[in-house]
Amino acid sequence: LAPKVSGSYLRQMFIDTHAHLYHQRFDGDRNEMVQRALDAGVQRLYLPNIDEASIDTMHALVAAFPKACFPMMGLHPCSVEKNSTVLLDKMRTLLDSGDYCAVGEIGIDLYWDKSLLKEQQDAFRLQIGWAKELKLPIVIHCRESFDEVFAIVQEENAPELTGVFHCFTGSAEEALKVKNLGGFYLGIGGVVTFKNGGLVETLPEIGLDRLVLETDAPFLAPVPHRGKRNESGYIPVIAQKVADALQTSLAEVQQVTTMNALSLFQHG
Ligand SMILES: [Zn+2]
């Protein structure tokens, strides 16, 4: 499965596997922000969709940076409504164009609103089915819902199903369950730099082999930017913290996570 990319290319490149760079908080300086990421060596930026409103702004960003920005399509669990059929149908039609690198972001969120759990589960299952059909990876949101998400992924798991548990902050035991699914990665972001984040303690048990890096920009900025707007140019800060936790080099973290991300999103 190793992508065919040259060693020197890999040595220079970081990847942000999860960034909402079309978000309105970047409206004032979006092009400059993307350029800062490119200058920091973060050369590929993967954009998870959220809802109907994010589709056009995401497409506009991809049109501006076609070599650096890669769009996904899917309905975020926080945007699932009592009846999301019309929007889900629209997203499925868009996916059929073949212009998207993944189905995302999808999943379950029990932090904000638990009343639509059944609807979130149904939308999640439906979108996993699309991913299997279209042979695309899934990008999973699992805030306060690891068990509920894992139950569905395990049920739907198949040789052709791959993906990433984005913003993974769970235990080493949960990481092992994800790894044992076969085709799944763990997305590590700014939380690794938080004193109370817990990841520095669990990462040595989890290891580097299935990790990818992400910012979740504009959210979850790493220390020393915590609480401010996050951006993709901070990926090396996150990578350094992962390297420290694993007692390995920044170069090792950069190369393994880049290779993993390329495998996940199937770039040759
Ligand atoms: Zn996200």
CA 19 to ligand 1 centroid distance, Å? 7
pLDDT tens digit sequence for 217-250: 999 999 999 999 999 999 999 999 999 999 999 9
CA 105 to ligand 1 centroid distance, Å? 6
Which DSSP category does 260 fall into?
Answer: H
Report the share of the chain in percent with pLDDT over 90.
Answer: 93
CA 93 to ligand 1 centroid distance, Å? 22
Evaluate whether 262 touches 18 at the Cβ level (below 8 Å): no
Q: Which of 62, 64, 13, 22 lies closest to 217 in space, CA to CA?
A: 22
CA 144 to ligand 1 centroid distance, Å? 14
Structure tokens at 85: 């059929």
pLDDT band at 112 (very low <50, low <70, confident <90, very high): confident
Region of 89 (left: φ > 0; alpha: ψ -120 to 50; beta: rest) is alpha
CA distance 87 to 126: 13
| Cβ neighbours, 10 Å, residue 93 | 10
CA distance 55 to 60: 9
Question: Is the pLDDT score of 53 beyond 60?
Answer: yes
pLDDT tens digit sequence for 128-184: 999 999 999 999 999 999 999 999 999 999 999 999 999 999 999 999 999 999 999
CA 12 to ligand 1 centroid distance, Å? 25
Amino acid, res. 59 = H
* pLDDT number for residue 1: 44
* pLDDT number for residue 266: 85
Q: Which residues pair with 16 in a beta bridge?
A: 45
The stretch 46-69 carries a mean pLDDT of 97
- Lowest mean pLDDT of 20-24, 72-76, 195-199, name the range: 195-199
CA 20 to ligand 1 centroid distance, Å? 7
